[in-house]
Amino acid sequence: DQLIEWKKGDLAQIGADGVMTEHVIRDREEVNEQIRALGELKEMAKIYGFDISGPATTAKEAVQWLYFGY
């Protein structure tokens, strides 16, 4: 969840000066895609019975979380 919040903050900063160039639009689309993908990853993990919305608390969880990302 923290990573999603950071990405939303990044999105708010991209083009904050009001100038929408091709580069800014492309960056905003990319960050939006990353936010969407992180949400889907979270839902997939939930299907398998894992809550990856927070940091891993054990080494086993860390490996499992990494595997979901892979």
pLDDT above 90: residue 31? yes
pLDDT above 90: residue 42? yes
Reported as a pLDDT band with limits 50, 70 and 90, residue 65 is confident
What pLDDT score was predicted for residue 7? 96
pLDDT above 90: residue 36? yes
For residue 34, the SS3 value is helix
What pLDDT score was predicted for residue 68? 86
Q: Is the CB of residue 52 less than 8 Å from the CB of residue 68?
A: yes
What pLDDT score was predicted for residue 9? 95
> CA 45, CA 52: separation in Å to the nearest integer?
7
